Chains A and B, each alone.
Chain A
């Protein structure tokens, strides 16, 4: 029963969707009026990987020469394509009314904020390098390095084509660890904030204490971002969000890493201010 529960969590994480409304930026030059385009975005994927249709939609009303590289922006913030969609949403738009309204640009690429994304192979390279980094933390990179080229391809194709079984058949190996150690060497995680100069916080953190006790999400935050923890008497200042939910602080980080990591094997944790209203 418990195994089945865990598998259900993996499925729910994989099949998470965000309803999105793409609107063309008002200053873009069009031949006709551009209708908004609605789409369900997969949380675990990357925005440039799933927006071919959006591009086609707006092509119809624009001249070819007016179209440069497409980029997205939400309420003035350019959206980084190399962050998973779920993270972008949790970080920037957690508590707004749905659908998520994204503005589409074809001009004035914000070179300072965004990386160019000329093709899907760049996304693949980024994805694979992130997985490798995660495995370096978890197994000193032994598991990912023992895999063959086709196994790497299977991970990527599973993500690209939204094939849960294909992806997890391989990803399962990355989630294994020696039983006697009780978990990975270090937990691959990143903590993001909107109001910060640093893009994210990342530290070495073990899943179990020296005495063999499991570390919890609370332990992790206390170590890395103590401000995120609310004392009993105070009002809650921050929400700690992964995949659009707030896990309990008692949740063991090892379990979180196995079940709530993104396909790139990282726990992307958003710490956002509690909405005032």
Chain B
């Protein structure tokens, strides 16, 4: 039953692709989106059924690909990711009905988008190396083409596409090496067989395969230092695509690390997981710092994805570390916290990216310094962004709060386990978690306060209006989920526990939910998100009522006080740059901002200033220190290498002779 549905999901997605390619222009978007939504709905049903029953959905055929079998087996762990992708996919496709920006209506884009969503849905089901790599590359290439949708009009898109192409192909190369190494050494390419035989492989094979997998999946997840494509590609991709990439595709990097590290290799030595935690801590700090100082809304969201992936990796690493030291219940707890964060991140980041695209369409810019006053002008999309921002800042009563709490708890309870590696890693983990938590609150206060509140800073922002209904419905569904999961996390936690329990060797004695509350087995006290929400609404209502009763005169609209100046204009407002300035200064050593001051003087007298302009740019340190030098070095080597084949036939004959001699010497 589930197997047939899984096939139907794939076919429905392919039908969407076909519809996008051949349907007449009038029906193109509607038809391809509707078929993609149907594919997502089918995927949701398969995923939910597998999660519920625990029976894997298996599809196996040898006729589809030459020399290798095409094999899908969706277990509970993979099913969780299918469900997440399906929900995000449905919302992004609904959003797309109203979205007309950035060339997403073209024939190419309309046919590739369904294929991208289908590959996202199928990757977690792949159960042998060939199938996995095929679907993984399909996902990488379709997403690359979608990033490039608008390349003809804007040159930044091409640059972003190049970065993304290089990073994703480097990652894929690492993945192919790692998985092929595992497959040849264990004599089978089936995941199930590898999982059984991998325990007998030599340690260097296992470690090499794991490190290669971390590199490959880390680049897709956007973990520092492999994140450089993310803040470039996400702002340039069309809205629904960046939402899908950030809320669904990035998850699969985390999926891959868990699948290879805990599934295929069934856990490993402590240093593997310390590596993962280290990557996670670095990503979380670096991502949150850069998102706190970014002034472009989509770039800020992209860096915040790096930040959240870091938190997920912290959880995954902690889980592996606990499993390695024999704390199985703690290992499951940490993995559940990480996976719960995957789910919630998909929900709030999806709604944030979609509503940021609404803002882009309505106000013509994603530069925070060009926005302002949009909450009053966009009465639905504004609150959607507000909810997403509060959720990502881990504030109650929204969902981010619950997963961060669980992550903190898993580290707190791991601390007294007596192991030195854990004793060092956990306080650092909590410190990182806390710093990113504070920085995220800062970031989204800025994003909401500068972007949506106050006065509009440009005429475009002044004239902005609410976007079409499909757009706010798509983004709004996810925002509603932020609230629902934040108030009633018991709706989703048991499924996540089931999914994490599919990873071999992890057990939890007891449930993580008690009624509406989140509780750890055997520990007094619990988290009551529902109660917090009721308390907030109840006390808030009482306070508002009290305020109304003591002062019933209507609120008088006044001009804001400004130290005696006559008129308030948007130029006097704080900008995103000025809002982030104190933090930029505090972290000056890490961010090393470049500051240019241009002062032009009056022609009559140089003692008077005509205009002064200050430019502050904050480059990505890894881009500047690692990637740019590497790029320059490659170009230089290329120039040297170009001199070797100079067109002379004699030289080529000499190369042939030397090669032949070398081969003979080696063979002899």
| A, B: real partners | no
Interface residues of B (CB under 8 A from A): none
